[in-house]
Amino acid sequence: MGLATFFQRVFQSNEMVDPMVDLQYQTMVGVAQRQLPPEELMRPELIAARTNFRKIEAIETAFDDRMSERLLTPFLTGNDPWLCARAAKALYASKPAIALQALKRLVRQKSSLYQLPAVWALGELSTARSLEILMSVAWSPHPEVQQVVLRYMIKLESKKQIPTALGVSFEKLLKDVRAKSDWIL
């Protein structure tokens, strides 16, 4: 299949690309998709959001590192935190410093609407550098951010995927967060 055909199929499809795109889409609009009536799902801004998620996935899979960086960079500076986080995650393999800088910028925002997408991307990357940033958000003033950080930490601990460089500090933070939280995860 040619590149033009590939992009045409991706951008004209009405189906979601993967479950994470659907989750991010739902979070972005602040309402679970099943709560939206069908006519609401066809609003232009929601269609544009789904299309942008597909664009990032298409760029990530179809282009070399140099071209991907060029095409993903505009998403890093946009106003949509989910698009920024997805673009940073896609860009991490070739340009980790640029990707982490964008995710740090999101984490530093006071709103959980900006922090949550960054936490998702950092947890999915699960590298020593990304986990250092993730760990810095463990005591966020937003309970929903704390819960997501804790879930990623538990997931990594249960899979024994904690980077050696972070072992002791990761375990201590996880123990402290578990002891001070009221959540059952």
- Write out the chain in H/E/C secondary structure: CCHHHHHHHHHHCCCCCCHHHHHHHHHHHCCCHHHCCHHHHCCHHHHHHHHHHHHHHHHHHHCCHHHHHHHHHHHHCCCCHHHHHHHHHHHCCCCHHHHHHHHHHHHCCCCHHHHHHHHHHHHHHCCHHHHHHHHHCCCCCCHHHHHHHHHHHHHHHHCCCCCHHHHHHHHHHHHHHHHHCCCCC
Tell me, what's the pLDDT at 40?
62
At CA 134, angle to CA 131 and CA 135, rounded to 5?
Answer: 85
Is residue 102 within 8 Å of residue 76, measured between CB atoms?
A: yes
Stretches in the chain below the pLDDT threshold 50: 1-4, 6-8, 10, 14-34
Tell me, what's the pLDDT at 38?
60
Is residue 94 within 8 Å of residue 69, measured between CB atoms?
A: yes
Tell me, what's the pLDDT at 14?
44
Tell me, what's the pLDDT at 50?
73
Tell me, what's the pLDDT at 2?
47
pTM: 0.71
Tell me, what's the pLDDT at 26?
46
Is residue 109 within 8 Å of residue 117, measured between CB atoms?
A: no
Phi first, then psi, for residue 139 (nearest 5°) are -105, 30
Tell me the CA distances in angstroms from 120 to 62, 75, 77, 100, 160, one per residue in order. 23, 16, 18, 13, 19
Phi first, then psi, for residue 2 (nearest 5°) are -75, 165
Tell me, what's the pLDDT at 21?
46
